[in-house]
A and B are shown apart, each in its own frame.
Chain A
Amino acid sequence: MLTFIVRRVLWTVLVMFVITVVVFIIFFKTPGVDPARALAGRSPNAQTLAEIRAQLGLNRPFPIEYGIMMKKIFITRDLVSYSNQGVKVIPEIGQAAPATLSLVFGAAALWVVLAIAVGIAAALLRGTIFDPLLMVVALVGISAPVFWVGQMANMVSQGIGHSTFLFSWVPPLGYTPFTQDPLLWFKGLVIPWITLSILYIGFYGRVLRANLLETQNEDYIRTARAKGLTERRVLLRHNLRTSMITFVSLFGLDFGALVAGSTLLTEVVFGIHGVGYLTWQALTNLDLPTIMATTVYGAFFIVLVNAVVDIAYAWLDPRIRPT
């Protein structure tokens, strides 16, 4: 198991390296993209361009250029934004990350618990009207776009409903750091959490239900019953445990992607200045250093979460463990 983990971590480092190289080539080395030109303003003369290139280290050979970029991201952390001169990108991401992490962790906790509840409930209620009913509700949840749900939630909680006791506790849009005011942090995130998790509750609930029903017909479930175990134990220890394997691998992908910035829409709708919001701004300004840094940050989380999931997967399913 230990060698498995070590190997997995080494693999992660390699993947990170490849990702940074590819991203660097895409943003800085694609023909037609000239960061110096973008910075130099209108109709720059050749001398200015050369100066800017020298300043940014863009006149060096490719491997060195790449090295400088990585040094600025990982070691000196002084990569400077092109569009907001003087703003250092890495600390900016450092400031935005807690908002995104707060949003994603809360939503993930909500969706894991509720999706398991929905999946189990639907599987248990199979054959009754409630199973298809739950699945239709889940489908509606999957189909409702997050920006629409978010806007509706804002309209009700900030607008017409705000004066009623139901929503009077909702603070104005925006993110309050946990360290500043934990209660306000919580209050401000409740509605974004729910909004973000609706899609995943629906999706994961359906996936889990399908897996539970499939596993239900396995021979070892019959064996578990023949052993005289309680239905509850058969469901939780035998059926759910093996059904969680798909759930966990999907969770790794989605969770990683969300932390990496897929929360963009939710962040924009609720005015939460997280990484997604930052990426969105950088993209509209073609602010290459920021894009580079947020991409590396995102890739890092996706790869990290996937490594964690692989290890969890090996824990869940002994068959894939190396012997």
Chain B
Amino acid sequence: MTGEPLLEVRDLKVSFRTEDGLVRAVDGVSLSLSPGETLGIVGESGSGKSVTMMSVMRLITDPNARFEGEVLYKGRDLMKLGQDQIREVRGAGIAMIFQDPMTSLNPVYRVGWQIEEQIREHEKISKQAAHARAIELLTAVGIPQAADRVRDYPHQFSGGMRQRVMIAMALSCNPDILIADEPTTALDVTIQAQILNLIRKLRDDFGTAVVLITHDMGVVADLADRIAVMYAGRIIEQGSRRDVFYDAQHPYTWGLLGSIARLDRPKPRRLAAIPGLPPSLLRLPPGCAFGERCAHRFALCDERPELRDKVGDGHLDACHLELKQKQDLRETTIHPELIEEAT
């Protein structure tokens, strides 16, 4: 990574006051994103990946939410900006697309109108020019007959097409960063690949940095430059795509990797699953949050492990195991069928 990071999250903590107690949704997350880079944030539901990025955009309106930490974007702390200033960043500097394209567009307005609305909010531009730009954008995201379809309503589009509209809208003001929150989760598998290819193509054409939030390792596998794995509100491993896929350091990451159906290996009788459930965010264990589900737990795991660079090349992980131990345990954890074959 070269130069100043475009976006830097420093020790972000987000908690929600609820009737049952304090929910620590994000518990000290630090991230950085360079211009043009693609960062994948992986984790299961409730791991805090969406909340982290929604907090960056200051989109969490829950009055019971509490925020700590810094979010530096171009040298400004977004957490301290006033409403008007954060509005200028939203949509123009950092744009976001969401999981469910079926409900993310306002059903009562034409898609063109919704795109133009965003352009006109951020730029002094005539209606005609904004309209022309909307058509251009829809064409760029691969919507056929964009000049006609710009006058259609969201319900006249399929799910994949709506996600394309969302992407067109997000890119309408040439943002530096595109946050894609599970952009393919609600779509058919065939459409997923199309949308991911589209994001990749636009990233390359526009030079936009992308934060890709997903629970699907397959999604980040060929799109992300760097990957952060989140678990129970914390990042437990972070490194280049290569590091995370081929030199994973955290047993949770091993579990995720093991649960992928792969074509390049003998077919296991059944896919490996991580036993148990993530801990309640109301009562996080004092030690390693993954401890209860980890097959390699030992005494030290009752202390909370820090996210540290143990490998020594910017590859961070939060696990007490020694490097050597990990190397011994990794293969059999990811591919338990190897043991079965041996016996």
Point out residues on A near B: beta carbons under 8 Å: 127, 218-220, 222-231, 233, 237-238, 241-242, 316-319, 323
Contact = CB atoms under 8 A, between A and B. Distances in A.
B91 A319 contact: no
A48 B169 CA distance: 82
A131 B117 CA distance: 31
B227 to A, nearest CB: 24
Given A219-B98, A222-B59, A222-B98, A229 B121 contact: yes
B321 to A, nearest CB: 40
A41 B122 CA distance: 81
Contact of A226 (B59, B88, B122): B59
Interface string B121-147: 110000000000000000000000000
B83 A231 contact: yes
Given A242-B106, A242-B108, 6 more contacts: A219-B98, A220-B107, A223-B169, A228-B122, A229-B87, A242-B107
Contacts of B105: 220, 223
B104 A220 contact: yes
B121 A228 contact: yes
Contacts of A241: 108
Interface string B107-124: 110000000011001100
B155 A225 contact: no
A319 B106 CA distance: 11
Interface of B: 57, 59, 61, 63, 83, 87-92, 95-96, 98, 100, 103-108, 117-118, 121-122, 153, 155-156, 166, 169
B92 A318 contact: no
Contacts, number: 74
A228 B107 contact: no
B181 to A, nearest CB: 10
Pairs of residues from A and B, 9 with the lowest C-beta to C-beta distance, nearest first: A228-B91, A228-B90, A219-B103, A227-B118, A220-B106, A227-B91, A318-B153, A226-B96, A219-B104
B312 to A, nearest CB: 39
Given A228-B122, A318-B153, A318-B155, A223 B104 contact: yes
Interface of A, helix, strand, loop or mixed by DSSP: helix
A241 B114 CA distance: 14
B161 to A, nearest CB: 16
Given A241-B108, A316-B108, A319-B107, A227 B155 contact: no
Nearest to B103: A219
A18 B89 CA distance: 60
Nearest to A239: B106
Contacts of A233: 121
Given A219-B103, A220-B103, A318-B155, A229 B117 contact: yes
26 contacts: A127-B63, A218-B103, A219-B98, A222-B104, A223-B98, A223-B106, A226-B90, A226-B95, A226-B98, A227-B91, A227-B118, A228-B87, A228-B90, A228-B91, A228-B118, A228-B121, A228-B122, A229-B87, A229-B91, A238-B106, A242-B108, A317-B107, A318-B108, A318-B153, A319-B107, A319-B153
Contacts of B59: 222, 225-226
Contacts of B63: 127
A237 B120 CA distance: 14
Nearest to A241: B108
Contacts of B169: 223, 227
Nearest to B89: A228
Contacts of A219: 98, 100, 103-104
Nearest to B63: A127
Contacts of B103: 218-220
B193 to A, nearest CB: 23
B113 to A, nearest CB: 10
A226 B57 contact: yes
Nearest to A230: B87
A316 B107 CA distance: 10
Contacts of A323: 156
Which of A218, A220, A226 has the most chain B CB atoms closer than 10 A to its own CB?
A226
Contacts of B117: 227, 229, 237
Given A127-B63, A219-B103, A220-B105, A227 B153 contact: no
Contacts of A225: 59, 61, 90
B264 to A, nearest CB: 37
Contacts of B92: 228
A314 B292 CA distance: 55
Nearest to B64: A127
Contacts of B57: 226
